Amino acid sequence: MKHLCNPFLSLIGTLLAFASMAQQEYQFMNTVNNPYMLNPAAAGMQNIMNFELSSRIQWMGYNGGPRTMVASGHSPIAIGGERDVMEEYNPKRESMFALPDVSLGTKHTIGGRAMLESIGPFGRTSAYASYAYHMPFSKKMNFAAGIGLGWSHFAVRQDRVVLFHSEDASYDEFLSNSGSQNIVDANAGIVFYSDCFFFGASTTQILKNKVKIASILTESNFNRHFFLVSRYRFPINDEFQLEPGAVVKMAQNSPLSADMGARLLYNQSSWVGLQYRTGNTVNLQIGSTLINNIYLSYGYEISVGSNRGGGAGTHELQLGIYLGNTRNLNEELKSGSSEED
């Protein structure tokens, strides 16, 4: 195996080796509400399409802080003789509408996500596609298993590198030899869900690719990550529901990380949530459905206690849309036939 031999590549190798010992996957406050972000089996639990755009800006006030943007979408699909897999959704075109209910039974689902991520001079672009199969586990619960396959590109952004010397031969050599890496990777997961319960287990970066720098193989790799996501919805009365949930994240050579909290829903259309993340981090969320089938969620995260820094915390924004059949033609035809008879 070749060794890193010049100062610049040694520094890059040290940084990546450090990164390999930490959580490498993104952490969104909204994961408990949109588990598909980490689990391909969670696609298509409702018989409608769901598209979401999520943006996370960490360490406000610091240059080069982590920035993450994720676009995802998933839906059930028809296979063979199946028809009308999409359900009617918000047919009254209400501006404040209830979140969609899950649908049980056998079905096939597909999904995909694309991500842009940066921290300091390092950037990552990735795209994944997934497939999942859902089947009844009991009369009131479904089971699903899914797998995803995708591509990631890692690179050093030259416009974010500040050199002590304006001309650095090692840095120029690194870029000329290709300061980037492309990998193919996979993720997989299982879920159990009902109209009020969800539990999912998943793993990402299954292939555990090695980190290469300018064609030099290092001792660092993209560690496998393991995630457990659960939530349960309790009715309080006709208008309010309480939904406690947790997200547990595990990776090799990293401490276990957990988000624990709950959100309070009003008419299943608006919500406010509070979470605590191990490591003395508190998250506050607020969101609502609005403008026909669109929903919006905002989250603010801040470190507390001895870990509190001088930045302005972390901001998250999710914008999503649910799409379903606006008219059920089969039902209309059946109703018309009944009236004629």
Average pLDDT over residues 124-152: 95
Kindly report the backbone phi and psi dihedral angles of residue 300, in degrees, each rounded to the nearest multiple of 5, phi listed first: -125, 130
As a whole number of angstroms, the distance between CA 242 and CA 257 comes to: 23
Confidence band, pLDDT 50/70/90 cuts, at residue 180: confident
> Could you tell me the sign of the dihedral formed by the alpha carbons of 180, 56, 201, 252, in that order?
positive
- Residue 127 reports pLDDT greater than 50: yes
Best CATH choice for the domain 7-340 from the list 2.60.120.460, 2.40.30.10, 3.30.420.40, 2.40.160.40: 2.40.160.40
As a whole number of angstroms, the distance between CA 40 and CA 187 comes to: 7
pTM of the full predicted structure? 0.81
What was the pLDDT predicted at 68?
A: 92
As a whole number of angstroms, the distance between CA 108 and CA 196 comes to: 21
As a whole number of angstroms, the distance between CA 268 and CA 90 comes to: 13
Burial level of 132, CB count in 10 A (0-12/13-18/19+)? buried
> Could you tell me the sign of the dihedral formed by the alpha carbons of 304, 65, 295, 298, in that order?
positive
Torsion, Cα of 123, 128, 214, 8 (10° steps): 30
Give the start-to-end residue ranges of the domains of the chain. 7-340
Average pLDDT over residues 8-21: 43
**Percent of the chain's residues with pLDDT above 90:** 49
**Percent of the chain's residues with pLDDT above 70:** 74
As a whole number of angstroms, the distance between CA 68 and CA 65 comes to: 10
